[in-house]
Amino acid sequence: RAPFPRLGPHEANAAHGRDTAVLRQDVTADKRGSHPVGPLVISRTDPFGIAYGEYALGQPRTLLVTPRVVPLANGVLDVAHSEGTEHELLRHSIPSADELIAREYRPGDPLRRVHWRATARHDQLMVRQEEQRSNPEAWLLLDTRGGIAGEAAFEDQVDLIASVGVHLLDQGFAVSAVETAERQLNGRSGAGRSGTLGAMSPTYDLGGADRLLLADLASIEPGVE
Angle at 28 (CA atoms; ends 31, 67), nearest 5 degrees? 40
What is the model's pLDDT at position 86? Answer: 45
Domain count, the chain: 3
Is the domain of 51 the same as that of 5? Answer: yes
Instruction: Specify whether the CB–CB gap between 205 and 110 falls below 8 A.
Output: no
- Of 78, 98, 132, which residue constitutes the final position of a domain? 132
Query: Considering the domain boundaries, does residue 203 fall inside one?
Result: yes
Is the domain of 46 the same as that of 94? Answer: no
* CA distance linking residue 27 with residue 174, whole number of Å: 34
What is the model's pLDDT at position 58? Answer: 84
C-alpha separations of 106 from 49, 121, 174 in Å: 63, 18, 16
Query: Considering the domain boundaries, does residue 212 fall inside one?
Result: yes
Is the domain of 52 the same as that of 9? Answer: yes
**What sign for the dihedral angle of Cα 34, 166, 138, 222?**
negative
Query: Considering the domain boundaries, does residue 200 fall inside one?
Result: yes
What is the model's pLDDT at position 1? Answer: 64
Is the domain of 149 the same as that of 181? Answer: yes
Output the tens digit of pLDDT for each of the chain's 225 residues: 666 666 666 566 667 666 677 777 788 888 999 998 888 888 888 888 899 998 888 888 899 999 999 998 876 666 544 444 444 444 444 444 444 578 888 877 778 788 888 899 889 998 887 654 456 888 999 999 877 678 899 999 999 999 999 999 988 889 999 998 888 999 886 555 555 445 678 899 878 899 999 999 999 998 755
* CA distance linking residue 61 with residue 35, whole number of Å: 8
Per residue in 128-174, pLDDT (tens digit) is: 876 544 568 889 999 998 776 788 999 999 999 999 999 999 888 89
Q: Is the peptide bond before 39 cis (omega within 30 degrees of 0)?
A: yes
Is the domain of 141 the same as that of 128? Answer: no
Is the domain of 154 the same as that of 211? Answer: yes
Query: Considering the domain boundaries, does residue 185 fall inside one?
Result: yes
What is the model's pLDDT at position 113? Answer: 82
Beta bridge partners of 6: none
Query: Considering the domain boundaries, does residue 79 fall inside one?
Result: no
Is the domain of 96 the same as that of 157? Answer: no
Is the domain of 123 the same as that of 150? Answer: no
Is the domain of 178 the same as that of 204? Answer: yes
Query: Considering the domain boundaries, does residue 71 fall inside one?
Result: no
Query: Considering the domain boundaries, does residue 76 fall inside one?
Result: no
Is the domain of 125 the same as that of 173? Answer: no
**Residue 1's domain spans which residues?**
1-65
Query: Considering the domain boundaries, does residue 75 fall inside one?
Result: no
Task: State if pTM tops 0.95.
Answer: no
Is the domain of 148 the same as that of 200? Answer: yes
Is the domain of 190 the same as that of 163? Answer: yes
